[in-house]
Structure 1
Amino acid sequence: MSMSVEQPLWRALTAYRALTAVYAVAIAVVARDSYERPQVAFGYLAVLLVWTLATLPRFTGAARCTRPFLAVDVGLALAGILLTPLADGAGRHAADGPTLPSIWTAGAVLACALKGGWRWAAAASALVGAANLAQRGEASPNTLHNVLLVWVAAIAIGYVVEVARASERTLARALEIQAATRERERLARDIHDGVLQVLAMVQRRGTAVGGEAAELGRLAGEQEAALRRLITQGPVPEPRPAEPSGSAAPRDDERPQDLMALLGRYADARVTLSGPGTPVELAPHAARETAAAVGAALDNVRTHAGPGARAWVLVEDEPDRVLVSVRDEGPGIAEGRLTEAAEEGRLGVAQSIRGRLRDLGGTAELVSVPGQGTEVELTVPKQDEDGREAATGRRDPAQAGEGTQ
């Protein structure tokens, strides 16, 4: 589909070509007595006029202006310039008179600019400039001025067209994303009002009845959690293929990663994940280490609060930091228990959680009241003290498995 910005330029070029072809013929008619070989001049202009009128339908858009067609168009302009001395003799062309195609030549150059951008425009205008200098035999100030004017104007228009095309593609992509988002929101409302309500009811009734119904309720709860995660966060993106050797594209370990996508694998019937509706992007290493720390905290919940304990993960995206809290409904941690665990060599909290956050320049605070559960609050800065992305250090991935106190 034609661009809203580009299409008016093609229409203007169509009118320009028709008017300048008539103008070139009018100049020749007025100066017919000064031509040394008028048959050459009027023969060329007849071809030019017929070609212009016959090809007007092609200039409705870039699709029909193929590369061979534009090459013939520019070739016709060059032929007219080089035939001028033959038709004019040593008369007007030596005194900076107009060439046979006159300003029609600019239309051929501008067509290249609209079709191929500033590079095509530069090549076409360079050929026209060289032909003008060749037919004059010398670089007079007036000739240089005209050549430079066409060259600059063509390149500028070609660059504007390239920018317009890029903007059009960006806008089209944004509209696609907006339409997809609206459709997803509509589906989410329908699913929330129907399917999720039924799954939640099955989970409650199955748990209350017990027996085989309890297992059915558990499965319904897991499906509810997975479906809720899908409609709120979207599908987890597939791994990107490796870039070809020598490619300048960013590597996977250089791209920001969405923390919500990494934490999504922990959400199930017993773990509720809540966060912003938009991606929470962190430096790749920071995102992975934060997710590993959350995994270690959830391991502690399963180990010390029981496999059926509920946990809640809340993600808050602030301008300069990301806050992640992990709260459970377990029995809490007795006073002094963490110190005893560290002395016994069980460093789940000290290393898997606090150690990771310390390496990222953040903090991990643990609040626990016996009988009222435990809450772990992780603070991850988005930048270090020098204004660079935080978490440039590396840790052994094997530490991600540490999850006991």
Structure 2
Amino acid sequence: MPVREDREDHHEDREGRDEDAAVTGAALDAALWRSVAVYRALALVYAAVVITKNSGGYAHPLGAWAVLAVLAVWTGVATLAYRDPARRGWPLLAADLAVAFGCVLATAWVETAHHIAVGRPTLPVSWVAASVLAWAVAGGRRLGVTAALVLGVANLLVHAVAGTSGGMGNTTLNGIVLLFLAGLVVGQVVRLAREAEARLARAVEMEAATRERERLARRIHDSVLQVLAMVQRRGGEAGGEAAELGRLAGEQEAALRAAGGAGPPASGMARAARAHGAALAPGTAAGRDTDLRPLLTGQASTSVTVSTPATPVTLPEHAAGELAAAIAEVMDNVRRHCGDGARAWVLLEDDPAAVTVSVRDEGPGMPPGRLDDAAASGRLGVAQSIRGRVRDLGGTVAIVSAPGEGTEIEMTVPR
């Protein structure tokens, strides 16, 4: 049942990560479309200012106001339509580009031939770039450049209809070039942003998968491997067919250690201390606090001194159990490497920001790089059962050791 529950939890976690990635992608798209909407609204204000300023010189002033009305209405319609992801398809994009094309082309009827020849801007001015931006956001630089090409043709047609194609000034040419640059640059930026978002989502998923693997490895370290080690030992003592069973159990134990990165078997005392934390799934009973002191005083013996404050040191139940399990692993390492009678001291410190537990022993100490070598060879008891547990609680582990000077491990868990 625990394996099945782990698989179900992992499946739920993966579904949750997929949902988070979808939400993140939707948030990016929403931000991009909001930017286009803001640009469209500001460009509408600018177009209104230009039309108002030049209204006295138009050949058909009423036509200019009609074009401004079309710009205003379509600005509202497009802003609302692009908010709905289901509507961001070809019909809306085509309509957006058609409105921009028609408003640009209307300049040939509203403006005088002289003003067109001298380079007065088209009626929508920079408003038409909103369509280019919309196409670039929807399909990247290719669609952005395509929309710019269509509107560039509209600018050329204005001169052709007005009979001034031979006198096209730098203003028109600059406007066409800016449209192409907008479609190209914005489309490229959008593509890079979406690729970066996808890479970030994959990195987050890989990190979550790594944490899940480490959590499962710790559970293997605390349960399955202990049973296999016991079967191997008892089978060797019993002899006969039981010895063969013990040998097979030993092989499976070695295979699981290689796959899960678990360390050597823990003692009965360590298993008992870890049982309190292993019985709780991460995040459960988060609102109920537990006094950490009784979980540590169980480690006291004639050779182990445990010092705690006089007042309760409370943590959420899961955090207290995991921290106690990490300390039990530390004490198990002390007994394994320093002997059963080795002197050790456990100190619990409490402050408003964090809880700190330090364990110091009089053992032989460790040479530099010892833990890295152990991790490289697959012995990850310290890396996962101690550091992994504290890291998952948001805390830190500091290890100070030198040959002949013992070892001190300090674990700090924030509140």
TM-score by length of 1: 0.54
Q: Does 1:197 align with 2:220?
A: no
Q: Cα distance, 1:104 vs. partner?
A: 0.4
Supply the AA of the counterpart residue of 2:198: R
Determine the structure 1 residue equivalent to 2:242.
213
Residue 63 and residue 151 in structure 1: after superposition, are their counterparts in 2 closer, same or farther (change >3 A)? farther
Alignment pair present for 1:23 and 2:46: yes
> For residues 86 and 202 of structure 2, what CA distance do their matches in structure 1 show?
21
* CA RMSD between the two structures: 2.7
SS of 2:106's equivalent in the other structure is helix
Q: 2:65 aligns with which of 15, 38, 42?
A: 42
TM-fit CA distance, 1:102 = 1.3
Q: May I ask how many residue pairs the two structures share in their alignment?
A: 237
Q: Give the whole-Å Cα distance in 1 for the aligned partners of 2:208 and 2:54.
A: 62
Matched residue type, 1:160: V
Quote the residue 2:292 is aligned against: none
Aligned partners of 1:62 and 1:162: how far apart in 2?
Answer: 18
Q: Contact (CA 8 Å) 1:44, 1:80: kept in 2 or not?
A: yes
In the alignment, structure 1 residue 66 sits paired with structure 2 residue 89? yes
Residue 152 (1) aligns with residue 181 (2): yes
Q: Is the 8 A contact 1:7 1:61 kept in 2?
A: no
Partner of 2:36: 13
Residue-by-residue CA offset, 1:270-313 (whole Å, 9 max, x unaligned): xxxxxxxxxxxxxxxxxxxxxxxxxxxxxxxxxxxxxxxxxxxx
* Percent of residue pairs identical: 47
- 1:56 match: 79
Specify the alignment match of 2:255 in structure 1. Answer: 226
Q: 1:174 aligns with which of 200, 203, 224?
A: 203
**Structure 2 counterpart of 1:72, one-letter code:** A
Please, which of 113, 130, 140 is the counterpart of residue 117 of structure 1?
A: 140
Q: Post-superposition shift, 1:51?
A: 1.4
2:107 and 2:122 in contact (8 A); partners too? yes
Cα separation, partners in 2 of 1:61 and 1:149, compared to 1, 3 Å? farther
CA drift at 1:55: 2.4
Residue segments in structure 1 that go unaligned for 5+ positions in a row: 234-323, 325-405
Contact 1:37 1:86 in 2 (8 A): yes
CA distance in 1: counterparts of 2:218 and 2:42, whole angstroms? 59
The structural deviation recorded for 1:140 is 2.5
Judge conservation of contact 1:2–1:61 (CA < 8 Å) in 2. no
Counterpart amino acid of residue 146 in structure 2 = A
Do the aligned residues in 2 keep the contact of 1:10 with 1:60 (CA within 8 Å)?
yes
Whole-angstrom distance in 2 between the partners of 1:185 and 1:149: 53
Tell me how far 1:105 sits from its aligned partner.
Answer: 0.4
Q: Does 1:135 align with 2:164?
A: no
Supply the distance in 1 between the matched residues of 2:258 and 2:65 (Cα, whole angstroms): 76
Q: Distance in 1 between matches of 2:150 and 2:91?
A: 16
The 8 Å contact of residues 113 and 120 in structure 1, kept in 2 or not, is answered as: yes
More helix by proportion, 1 or 2? Answer: 2
1:97 to 120, 143, 162: 120
SS of residue paired to 1:98: coil
**Pairing partner for 1:87 from 86, 110, 114:** 110
| Cα offset, 1:64, TM superposition | 4.4
Q: 1:4-56: per-residue Cα shift (whole Å, max 9, x none)?
A: 76654433321111121232233223322322223333223212211111221
Paired with 2:91 and 2:40, the residues of 1 have a C-alpha distance of 18
Q: What is the CA–CA distance in structure 2 between the aligned matches of 1:111 and 1:2, rounded to whole Å?
A: 20
> Which residue pairs with 2:407 in the alignment?
none
Q: Which digits, 9 at most, give the CA deviation of each residue in 1:157-194, with x for residues without a partner?
A: 11111111111111110110001101110110111111
In the alignment, residue 251 of structure 2 is paired with which amino acid? Answer: E
Secondary structure of the 1:86 match is: helix
Q: TM-score, normalised by structure 2?
A: 0.52
User: Residue in 2 aligned with 1:77?
Assistant: 100
Q: 1:74 to 1:176 in 2, by over 3 A?
A: same
**1 CA distance for matches of 2:96 and 2:120?**
23
How big is each residue's C-alpha offset from its partner over 1:107-138, in whole Å with a ceiling of 9 and x where there is no partner? 11011112211111111111111111121233
When residues 165 and 61 of structure 1 are mapped into structure 2, their CA distance, relative to the original with a 3 A threshold, is farther
Question: Would the aligned equivalents of 1:13 and 1:59 in 2 still touch at CA under 8 Å?
Answer: no
SS at 1:100's partner residue? coil
Q: CA deviation at 1:58?
A: 3.6
**Partners of 1:143 and 1:38 in 2: how far apart?**
21
- d(CA) in 1 for partners of 2:59 and 2:170? 25
